[in-house]
Amino acid sequence: MKKLVAVLVMALLVLSAVPLALADEGSDSTASVETRTEIETEVNGERVRDKATVISELGKEGVAVLVTDRLENAIEQCESESCKEALRERIAHVNSLSEEEKARLKVRMREREESEEDFKEARRKHGKFRLEHEFKARVHSDADLQELRVRFEAAQEEFLAARERVNLALEELKQASAELKLEKGKAYLNALLDTLENHLARIETKVEASEHLTEQEATTLQAEVDEKQAEIEALGAKIDAASTRDELKEVAMEVKELLADARDKGKVVYEHVISNKFAGVYVQTEHLRVKLTKTLERLAEKVDISTVDLTEFDAALVRAQTAIDSAAEKLKAAKEAEGEAKEALIKEAQDFREQAKDALKKARKLAEEILRDLKKAEGGAEALEKVQEEEKEEVEAETEAEEEIDVEIKNGTADVEVEVGDIKTEFTLQTTDESAIIAEIVARTGLSEDKVSGLIKFETEEADDDEDDDEEDEE
C-alpha cells in the first residue's frame, strides 16, 4: 500500500515540476535508444496532438523514459543545488519502479493530463479575461495615476459648481419677466450643458486610468465620450443662435434628450470599466487555483493532504465566472436598450457583479484556509517554505525560456504565434499593419500593449516574384 501511495505522489510531483517538451540529451534511464527516439519523435514531431493521447500510446518503459527526461530537463533549469539534488532523487526513484508501479504511473499521468486539458479548455473559453502576470491590460506609472487623480478631482469640482449654476439659473428664470426669459433660458441651458460636459470629463478620466481595459476597449469608450462632447458643442451653438422663445424651446428638447442619452451611456461606460476590473480579479483567482494545485501536489511527499477538498473552492470560481459573464451580457444588451429597459439591465449587471465579488472573496478565503491548515501540520511549515522556493525558481526559469511572440507576414496576411507563460495560441490576421496586429494580440491574450511590443518579432517573407512572372507568361 505504501508503495502505491509513493507512486501516485511521484506522478503528481513530476507533472508539476517540468514543462512538456522532452530534452534532447541522454539520461541514465535503462530504456533502449530506440524507445527513447520513438517517444521524442511522437511527442516533438506532433506538437498539436493531445498530451493524454500520446501518453496512452506509450508503453510502460516509454512513460518511464518520458518522466526521466522531464526531470533531467528540469535539473538544467534549477539554479540552486538543493533543487537539483531533489530532482536527482526523483530520477533514481523512477528508475527503481517495478513493472506494476510503472503501469500505475502511466495511468496517473494520463488522468492528470486529461484533467489539465479540461482546465485549459475552460480557460480558453474566457480568453478575453486572460491577462499577464500583473493581471492588467494596461500599466500606468504612479506619476500618470497621480495626474489622472488630480484631473478627476478637478472635474468633480467643476461638476459640482456647474450643478450649482444650474439651480441658480433655474431660480432666476422663474422670477424673470417675459423680456428676460429668453436670456435666462439660454443661461439655464448652457449651465445644463456645462454639467454634462464635466460629467463626461469624469468618465473620460475613469476610462483613461483603468488598467483593466485594453487599448482597443479604451479607444472605443473614448470615441463614445468624444461623440457626446461634439453634440454638446453643436447644441451650445444652437442656444446662442436662438432669437425667440419658441426656437429656444426646440433646442431645450434636444438638450433634454442629450442629457438622458449621455446619462444612460455614462452608466454603461462606468459599469464596463468596473466589470473589466472584476474580470482581472477573476484571472488572479484562477492563477491562484493553478498555483494551489501544484503546491498541494508537491506537499504530498511530506505532508498528509488526504483531507484537502477543493470542491467548494472550485464551485466558488465557477460561480464567479458565471456571474462575470452574465454581467458582461447585460451590459452589452444595455448599450442597445433605452429608458427603463436600459436602467433595468444595468441594475442586473450590478447585481451579477456583486455575486462575482462575493464568490471571489469566498474562493480566496478557502485557499488561505487550506494552506494555513497544512502549515500547522507536523513538518508543514518547513515543507511549504521549501516548495514555494522551488516553485519560484522554476517559474523564473520558465518565464525566461518561454516568452516570445512571432509574427510572419506574407501575401497580405500575418501568422501570429504567442507563447508567454501559460498563454499559448496561434492565429492568422488579414492585415500587415503592425499597430493593428499588436492591438489584436492585446485583445486576444489580455497581455498589456507594452508587454506585446517588447516581445513581438516581425518577419516579412517576400512573395515569389518568379512564380508571378511565370503565370503572366502563360496567360
Residue at which a domain ends, from 378, 396, 414: 396
Co-location of 188 and 84 in the same domain = no
Q: Say if residue 23's pLDDT is above 70.
A: no
Q: How far apart (Å, rounded) are the C-alpha atoms in residues 90 and 67?
A: 10
Please indicate, yes or no, if residue 337 is contained in any of the structural domains. Answer: yes
Total-model pTM: 0.38
More confident residue, 131 or 102: 102
Report the interhelical angle of 60-77 vs 99-125 (nearest 10°): 60
Co-location of 23 and 73 in the same domain = yes
**CA gyration radius for the chain?**
30
Q: How far apart (Å, rounded) are the C-alpha atoms in residues 394 and 16?
A: 10
Co-location of 163 and 114 in the same domain = no
Tens digits of per-residue pLDDT, 48-63? 345 556 556 666 677 6
Please indicate, yes or no, if residue 129 is contained in any of the structural domains. Answer: no
Q: What are the C-alpha distances in Å from 333 to residues 120, 217, 228, 249? A: 29, 17, 20, 33
Q: What is the mean pLDDT of residues 368-374?
A: 82
Co-location of 296 and 371 in the same domain = yes
**Given pLDDT bands bounded at 50, 70 and 90, which one contains residue 22?**
very low
Please indicate, yes or no, if residue 131 is contained in any of the structural domains. Answer: no
**Which residue range is the domain that position 234 belongs to?**
142-265
Co-location of 282 and 391 in the same domain = yes
Please indicate, yes or no, if residue 220 is contained in any of the structural domains. Answer: yes
Please indicate, yes or no, if residue 106 is contained in any of the structural domains. Answer: yes
Identify the DSSP state of 419: E
CB burial string 256-285: b at 16+ within 10 A, e below: eebeeebebbbbbbbbbbbbbebbbbbbeb
Q: How far apart (Å, rounded) are the C-alpha atoms in residues 460 and 412?
A: 10
Q: Say if residue 442's pLDDT is above 70.
A: yes
